[in-house]
Amino acid sequence: MPALSKARKVGVAFIGTGAVTAYHHLPGLRLDPRAELVAVCDSDPEILKKRQSEWNVEHASTDPEVVCGLEKVDAVVIATPNDTHRPIAVAAAKAGKHVMCEKPLGLSDPEVGAMYEAARDAGVVHMAAFTYRFAPSMRYLRHLLKSGA
C-alpha cells in the first residue's frame, strides 16, 4: 500500500456507480480536498462510460479486481448489489485497499467474518457506510449521551 502524505491525495474508486454513488458518495468525496476520484467500476458498460465522462475519471472497468489492482487507488467505495459485497471487499483488502461498503456488509455472519478477516490480515480499514455517524447532529447526540445530559 503506498504511503500517504499531505502532498498526495487519497485515490478513491467507486465500485458501483448507480444512484447511491451519484447522489451521496460523489458529492461527499468532492467536499474533501484530500481525496480524488481516480477510478470507476460498474457491471453495466453503458452507465460506466457515461459516469466516466460525466465525472471526468481516467480509469474505468467493469471488473472490480482490475480497479482494485490500480496503483492510484488507495480506497474503494462498494455500492453494488448486496450479494457482491463480500467478494469485492475481500479482493480490495487483498490488494491493500481500504474499503467502505454499503449496507448490508454481507448476507450472513460468515460473509461478514470473511470481510473482517481479509481487512485485518491486510492491515486496511474496512467500514460500513453508516455515514450519519459523522453528521453534526449525531455527534452532538453522542456528546449529550456521554455527558449524561
User: pLDDT per residue over 32-71, tens digit each?
Assistant: 999 999 999 999 999 999 999 999 999 999 999 999 999 9
Beta strands per DSSP E along the chain? 10-15, 35-41, 59-61, 75-78, 98-101, 126-128
pLDDT value at residue 3: 57
pLDDT value at residue 97: 98
DSSP state of 60: E
Question: Is residue 133 scored above 80 in pLDDT?
Answer: no
pLDDT value at residue 6: 67
pLDDT value at residue 2: 52
Higher-confidence residue: 35 or 129? 35
Average pLDDT over residues 81-109: 96
CB 16 within 8 A of CB 41: yes
Single-letter amino acid code for the residue at 70: L
Instruction: Note the pTM of the prediction, 2 decimals.
Output: 0.87
Average pLDDT over residues 12-37: 95
pLDDT value at residue 107: 94
Lowest model confidence (mean pLDDT) among 4-13, 15-24, 91-100: 4-13
